[in-house]
Amino acid sequence: MVLGSAFSLQFGSAVAALLFPRAGALGVVALRLVFSAALMLAVCRPRLRGHSRSDWAAAVGLGIALGTMNSLFYQAIDRIPLGAAVTLELLGPLVLSVVAARRAASLLWAGLALGGVYLLGASDFDGLAPAGVGFALAAGAMWSAYIVFNARTGARFPKADGLALAMGVAALVSAPLGLFSAGTALLDPVTLGLGAAVAVLSSGLPYTLELFALRRLPAATFAVLMSLMPVAATTAGFLVLGQSLGGVQLAAIALVVAASMGAVRTARS
């Protein structure tokens, strides 16, 4: 289920990249989040009353982090290959794990990750655009914020109600940017249909699979398996977008994946 979630999410990102010529990166983000919000709000039907200011602060913070993270990530994959973007984005949660662990072994994982990033940047990866690298790293920082706010929201709301409300906030954040960027192109029937497919692949199906997986797996095991995201992204980029990889690039991605797994395994509860 976890692997299915990872591949669904990354293949959804690859399909989203195919939509960029039609609606632009910001337009595709808006379509994905609006459709995802509509789906989750319809399924979860969260209560709007009876929540404290702290509850709403957590949900709104999660929504802003979610919307910003997706906007930055789609800007990244519009400029650099999908596998490279996810590898760089993974550095955000990796840094969070290393800082939380506060152990000597964490320096080893940080060193592995830095080695992987060096290989990724120093080798000829079809020329990594500096702007794309910057967007991917910024998306990683927002991924860390997403993890923190997601934990707070999950503790304050029942079931997936907090996530549904946060998704609504994310849609409100991204929709104006998407309309300003793409305009009437978002109303094209083909674009709308593909946008709905991206929402299901990148949000609806992954979140459902992760929900069921977390009922059967320890959280630490789940986190380790989620570290395989760059592998799923590399596969999706190759099969859907025709983005080929060399041995050095694959070694770089493997180093970052290994560093992420190690950091999760040695992190304190």
Q: Of 263, 197, 174, 185, whose CA–CA distance to 227 is shortest?
A: 263
Alpha helices in the chain (DSSP H): 2-44, 53-77, 82-89, 91-101, 105-122, 130-156, 161-182, 189-199, 205-214, 219-226, 229-241, 247-266
Low-confidence ranges of the chain (pLDDT < 50): 124, 269
| Residue 101 amino acid letter | A
d(CA 110, CA 227) in angstroms, rounded, equals 14
Beta-carbon neighbour count of residue 53 at 10 Å?
7
| Residue 146 amino acid letter | Y
The structure tokens 């699979």 sit at: 209
The pair of structure tokens assigned to 85 is 């973007």
State residue 100's pLDDT score: 67
Beta-carbon neighbour count of residue 246 at 10 Å?
12
d(CA 172, CA 149) in angstroms, rounded, equals 18
The pTM of the full predicted model, rounded to 2 decimals, is 0.83
Cα torsion angle, 254, 261, 74, 22, sign = positive
pLDDT digits (tens, 9 = 90+) for 66-95: 999 999 999 999 998 888 888 888 888 777
State residue 261's pLDDT score: 77
State residue 111's pLDDT score: 78
Question: Dihedral, CA atoms, 133, 106, 227, 68, nearest 10 degrees?
Answer: -40
Domain ranges for the chain, please list them.
Answer: 2-266
State residue 43's pLDDT score: 86
In the DSSP assignment, the letter for residue 8 is H
Please answer whether residues 109 and 98 qualify as being in contact, where contact means their C-beta atoms are separated by less than 8 angstroms: yes
